[in-house]
Amino acid sequence: MPYEGEHLIIGQLGHFFALLAFAASFVATLAFYKSSVAVDPAEAASWKKMGRTAYIIDTIAVISIFVTLYLIIYSHYFEYKYAHQHSKRSLDVQYLLSCFWEGQEGSFMLWSFWNSIIGLVLIRTARQWETPVMTMVSLVQLFLATFLVGIYFFDVKLGTSPFVLMRNEFPDAEIFKDPQYLIKYLRDGNGLNILLQNYWMVIHPPIVFLGFASSVVPFSFAVAGLWKNDHKGWIGPALPWSLFCGGVLGLGVMMGAAWAYESLTFGGYWAWDPVENASMVPWLTLVAGIHTMLIYRSTGFSIKATYLFIPISFILVIYSTFLTRTGVLGDTSVHSFTGEGNSLYWHLLAMILTFATIPVVLYFRRRKSIPVIHKEESMHSREFWMFVGSLLFFVAALYIIVLTSLPFINKLFGTQWAIGENVEYVYNRVMIMVAFVIGFLSGFTQYLKYKETSRKYFLSKIGIPAVVAIVISAIISIAGGISYNRYGMGFLLAIHLCLWASVFSAITNGTYIFSVLKGKMKAAGASIAHVGFGLMLAGILISSSKKDLLSINRTGIAMPGLKDAKGRDENPLENLTLIHQVPTPMGKYIVTYEGDSTENKNNRVYFKIRFREEDEATGKLKKEFLVQPNAFLVKSGEGTQLSSNPGSKHYINHDVFVYITSWLNPDNIADTATFRSRPVVPGDTMFYSNGFAVVNRIISANRHDNKDLPVVDSAWLSEVTVYSKDGRSFQAQPAFFIKDDMPTMKTDTVISQSIILNLTKKNSGVVELGIKESDAVMRYITLKAYQFPMINLLWLGTIIMVIGFMTSMVYRLNRARIG
């Protein structure tokens, strides 16, 4: 049956390029391997030439897949399943890239893209290590290609093609019996996950996947070192790549934290979510491996630890992909994939086993030739404490990954282990002590020399910075009023110790740059990274322990059924309801909900909330700013729900962070309530569900007796006081007029009580007061607001730490060229 409007050629090209990438990566892997094991130089050169050619073809194919799929998404070709599932016509152009890597296939393609680029760089720079290293890189590329081919080998499907047509995927659907299905039924797609409609999701995934992809390089060098039985030669070329990977992956992880801070509503940037953990763990083990590489290069110690830390970093990258993309985590993560069934499960498991087996087998084959120094390191040496720090990084990674893997472990062994309800504390109680020790070690270790350091030299260099750190941290602790006691005095003490360690690390490493390195910034990469780490740690501690809840509810208006980003119940006493255009006290601020506007194409509402801070003594304005959170309107079986994106106001020393937890717009509500009326005279009382109303006065007048009534013939005016259950009182003045025998009512509304009052005059002369309780009376929002002090230390520290990694990488590359 011919179908109208389909664009088949572009999909066929994409599928061809996917098959070409698979074939070329297979040839490249085989050719580089044959070149590595060839004895004859001419044969080795021939195989290497073939491997290079095949790898270049593979790279061209991968880039072509990338471009082809993007064109399908950009052109809104909804006959393709991938475009229909992940994009929509109304999406802004900048989010079309996010559509690309929202799905499984796009993510693997992004990984393959970076892997192919890295391989080209290695072909030019790896020199004598090219063929064994490129064997591993090409093998990774081959595995990544298998995720995209979507073909069957006998009864086993290999991967999922992003170029599959909707009608081929769902052949029994009724709509595909119509040749005009595309015009009639698939005019638009499902759209992008609303959580991903954020600018961080345009740049965060490429950076993270560059970090993931680059982790294959130190892995491949370590495998090559074992393969060629050269345990020292590989360290030099692998170290700059390890530093590059550490910087990029660390930056990517913290970009994810920034996205969570700006897009999720758990009130922070890190919640020990399994996806967050899975991306951080490879970074921890890689940093451990970088330090043991430095130890081995300078002293000959720690090569065995290096052969553990470096390979396991890449294996953990694959394992983190397995955890987050196969669905084994279930609903324990707010942003993990639901998985693609058993096919992806076994596919990724095969990849893990393959890349875990290779270094393990090679290690046991070469274990007798691996150099070991039997002499113990001196406790007064740099390498001793660097190794202690590396081991602590590894233990922390092990602790995190085991707890993160509990859902998978339970499925595997039928157990029912669980962390408990307070997930954050389970991690924080251990990690805060790890951070204290790491901060302390990073502060003094650089002042030690390799092999041995005299006590006099060490104390002369470290003494003053240590005292300065004690003074500054004490000032922060006391003047800053850090008194976080949610988990008792022991945890509070750990916070203060960790704060001192963070300040100690930043100050001592900053001092080291000028007192020891004499300001030579090119050689100061490690110290710069440590300064950044210290500032990050201080930012985390201060912003978390001093996080101030601003939206304490003292209005008496409590909204039930509020939920946070993780589906947990919100405390109504921590959520403040703001009535439209009614200034409301919130801590030191007067806050006004000024209005909202709806972006119809994306069903998003933007809210305007004005904050004013006035001097308590003079009443003069000290500060005024506007915060504009937004929320998507998501239709579900329970009606329209809000999916909030926080808004924030950034200052140098703090952020004000706001997100909407409920919204009522009376324009969208049909008013079905009616007035309940009864005759009244002054002094009478009428009750409503939240209080009662007292009639103070009723005044009648007509224009013959009262010259102040030129517009109407007769008027009945009232003064009513409304008393709510919480003790507040409100004034209302409903009235009734007659003009030319036509009656008119002037209603009065008490917005905060959601009631409307009216007054009527019956023909019998009786005056009746009516009360109507209605949800359509009041436009309001309910919000949650925090103040994060010194959070910019976290972001500044991240930038400085990444600069340190890159500075060290450039320094190592320059030394290698000179050497």
Query: What percent of the chain is helix, strand and coil (3-state, nearest 5)?
Result: 55, 20, 30
Structure token digits, residue 795: 């972001």
State whether residue 655 is helix, strand or coil.
strand
Residue whose structure tokens are 């499984």? 104
Residue 752's identity, in one-letter code, is S
Residue 21's identity, in one-letter code, is A
State whether residue 631 is helix, strand or coil.
strand
Answer for the pair 98, 30: CB distance below 8 angstroms, yes or no.
Answer: no
Sequence-distant contacts of 193-197: CB under 8 A, at least 24 apart: 193/102, 194/632, 194/634, 194/643, 195/263, 195/264, 195/334, 195/335, 195/643, 196/95, 196/98, 196/102, 197/91, 197/92, 197/95, 197/98, 197/602, 197/632
Residue whose structure tokens are 């006590």? 455
Answer for the pair 726, 719: CB distance below 8 angstroms, yes or no.
Answer: no
pLDDT at 564: 64
How wide is the angle at C-alpha 747 spanned by C-alphas 741 and 748, nearest 5°? 150
Neighbours of 521 (CB within 10 A): 13
* Pairing, β 691-702 against β 714-724: antiparallel
Residue whose structure tokens are 């990694």? 805
Answer for the pair 538, 798: CB distance below 8 angstroms, yes or no.
Answer: no
Answer for the pair 313, 395: CB distance below 8 angstroms, yes or no.
Answer: no
Answer for the pair 496, 477: CB distance below 8 angstroms, yes or no.
Answer: yes
φ, ψ of residue 695 in degrees (nearest 5): -85, 115
Q: How far is CA 764 from CA 182, 240, 737, 760, in A?
A: 69, 96, 16, 11
Q: Where are the alpha helices (DSSP H) in 38-95?
A: 41-74, 81-86
Answer for the pair 645, 659: CB distance below 8 angstroms, yes or no.
Answer: yes
Residue 250's identity, in one-letter code, is G
Q: Where are the alpha helices (DSSP H) in 420-488?
A: 423-444, 455-479
φ, ψ of residue 744 in degrees (nearest 5): -135, 135
Distance CA 139, CA 33 (A): 10
Answer for the pair 216, 310: CB distance below 8 angstroms, yes or no.
Answer: no
pLDDT at 334: 52
φ, ψ of residue 229 in degrees (nearest 5): 60, 35
* Pairing, β 604-614 against β 630-636: antiparallel
Q: Which of 434, 450, 408 is nearest to 291 (CA)?
A: 450
φ, ψ of residue 715 in degrees (nearest 5): -145, 140
Residue whose structure tokens are 């194919």? 61
Residue 811's identity, in one-letter code, is Y
Residue 580 is classified by DSSP as B
* Pairing, β 714-724 against β 729-732: antiparallel
Terminal C-alpha separation, the chain:
68
Distance CA 83, CA 106 (A): 11
Distance CA 290, CA 298 (A): 13
Answer for the pair 162, 101: CB distance below 8 angstroms, yes or no.
Answer: no
Q: Where are the alpha helices (DSSP H) in 549-625?
A: none
Residue 473 is classified by DSSP as H
Distance CA 514, CA 520 (A): 8
Distance CA 544, CA 790 (A): 10
Residues ≥6 apart with Cβ < 8 Å to 150: 15, 18, 157, 158, 159, 160, 161, 163, 164
Residue whose structure tokens are 């020393």? 653
Return the C-alpha torsion angle 280, 284, 289, 294, nearest 10: 120
Give the residues across from 634 on adjacent strands.
641
Q: Where are the alpha helices (DSSP H) in 87-179?
A: 96-102, 104-125, 130-149, 166-169
Q: How far is CA 737 from CA 303, 376, 610, 678, 778, in A?
A: 95, 100, 39, 18, 26
Structure token digits, residue 591: 């806050």
Structure token digits, residue 65: 């897949």
Average pLDDT by consecutive 10-residue portion of the chain (819 residues)?
88 96 97 96 96 97 96 94 92 86 90 97 95 98 93 77 92 89 89 84 92 97 96 95 97 92 79 88 97 94 96 96 83 52 82 97 94 86 95 96 91 86 89 95 92 87 88 85 84 92 94 91 95 96 90 78 68 87 89 88 88 85 92 74 87 92 71 85 92 92 67 87 88 89 85 85 87 77 92 95 96 81
Distance CA 558, CA 752 (A): 11
CA atoms within 13 A on the CB side of 547: 17
Using H for helix, E for strand and C for coil, what is the string for 738-795? EECCEEEEECEEEHHHCEEEEEEECCCCCEEEEEEECCCCCCEEEEEEEEEECCHHHH
Q: How far is CA 780 from CA 26, 427, 553, 747, in A?
A: 61, 38, 14, 20
Q: Which of 592, 582, 643, 635 is nearest to 613 (CA)?
A: 592
Q: Which of 243, 240, 241, 233 is nearest to 128 (CA)?
A: 233
Residues ≥6 apart with Cβ < 8 Å to 160: 104, 105, 147, 148, 150, 340, 343, 344
Residue 614's identity, in one-letter code, is E
The DSSP annotation for 367-423 comes to TTTS----SPPPTTSHHHHHHHHHHHHHHHHHHHHHHHTHHHHHHHH-------S-H
Helix axes 41-74, 130-149, angle to 10 degrees: 30
Residue 701's identity, in one-letter code, is A
How wide is the angle at C-alpha 341 spanned by C-alphas 100 and 20, nearest 5°? 50
Answer for the pair 632, 660: CB distance below 8 angstroms, yes or no.
Answer: no
State whether residue 649 is helix, strand or coil.
strand
Q: What is the CA radius of gyration of the chain?
A: 33
